[in-house]
Amino acid sequence: MAELTEQIAIVTGAGRGIGEAISKRLAALGATVVLVARNTARLAQVKREIENAGGRAETASVDLLHEGAIDTLAGFIKVRHGRCDILVNNAGIGAMGKPLHETAPGIWDAVMATNLRAPFLMIRALAPLMIAASRGHIINISSLAGHNPLRNGAAYAASKWGLNGLTYSVAEELRDFGIRVSAVAPGSVHTEFGGSGADDSWKIQPEDVANIVAMIVTQSPHSFVSEVLVRPARKR
């Protein structure tokens, strides 16, 4: 039996990049993966690929900026599955290329809403299912930018610093319920998120991040990983 058989995993930003890789890896381990994003076409494609590989997946088109949509998703999960074993908050956006004093407030708000408020809302909506079961994993995909200054990317960096603080604090709140909360903080990953250059071979691959998530959710029940920092093997 696969290690995650009969478990329900929810992955946001599952239509591409890191979220897609994580979803496929969890499905390969036996979980039923609920793929969450706004792009229904991409979700359907990822679902087909998971099923063609022998896995199980469902899709949920959700706008993570809307509290009501997240509450509806949580209600659906409760009725359909009655449990949530794994929540991966992966969806994120960037706002690079301008100093903070040239950044429009609307851009700041959008970054914070997607990268920080949405994980809060997802945890708020789904943690009760984990508390009822006295078990669960919550994994927030952060960034090395959450530990370091990021010139011309202050809004993004601030959102990830905030996500780290949220992760550490929620881990303390939920550990007594048997719920483990972790952060994975990669550097430059070879996805569409950060754009592409002439040679991206030096970057971390999405599958590298997915393997770390798999390690976290299959670890011994006697411990939990607070955070994993992931760096490219070589510098550009």
Kindly name the residue from 136, 156, 162, 185 that is annotated as catalytic: 156
Q: Are 65 and 120 in contact (CB under 8 A)?
A: no
Q: Are 15 and 36 in contact (CB under 8 A)?
A: no
156 catalytic? Reply is yes
Q: Tell me if 3 is assigned to some domain.
A: no
Instruction: Spell out, as residue ranges, where the chain has pLDDT lower than 50.
Output: none
What local confidence, expressed as pLDDT, does residue 188 receive?
Answer: 76
Q: Tell me if 235 is assigned to some domain.
A: no
Q: Tell me if 205 is assigned to some domain.
A: yes
Q: Tell me if 28 is assigned to some domain.
A: yes
Q: Distance between alpha carbon 42 and the CA centroid of its chain, in Å?
A: 17
- Pairing, β 86-89 against β 56-61: unpaired
Q: Tell me if 1 is assigned to some domain.
A: no
What local confidence, expressed as pLDDT, does residue 140 receive?
Answer: 98
**For the whole model, what pTM was predicted?**
0.94
What local confidence, expressed as pLDDT, does residue 195 receive?
Answer: 52
Q: Tell me if 2 is assigned to some domain.
A: no
Could you list the residue range(s) of the whole structural domain that residue 136 is in?
8-230
Q: Which residues pair with 9 in a beta bridge?
A: 33, 86
What local confidence, expressed as pLDDT, does residue 207 receive?
Answer: 94
CATH code of the domain containing 114: 3.40.50.720
What local confidence, expressed as pLDDT, does residue 196 receive?
Answer: 52
d(Cα 137, Cα 231) in Å, to the nearest integer? Answer: 23
Q: Tell me if 236 is assigned to some domain.
A: no
Q: Are 25 and 207 in contact (CB under 8 A)?
A: yes
Q: Tell me if 64 is assigned to some domain.
A: yes
Q: What is the pLDDT of residues 130-143, one digit of tens each?
A: 999 999 999 999 99
What local confidence, expressed as pLDDT, does residue 102 receive?
Answer: 95
Average model confidence (pLDDT) across the chain: 93
Total domains in the fold of the chain? 1
Give the SS3 label for residue 80.
helix
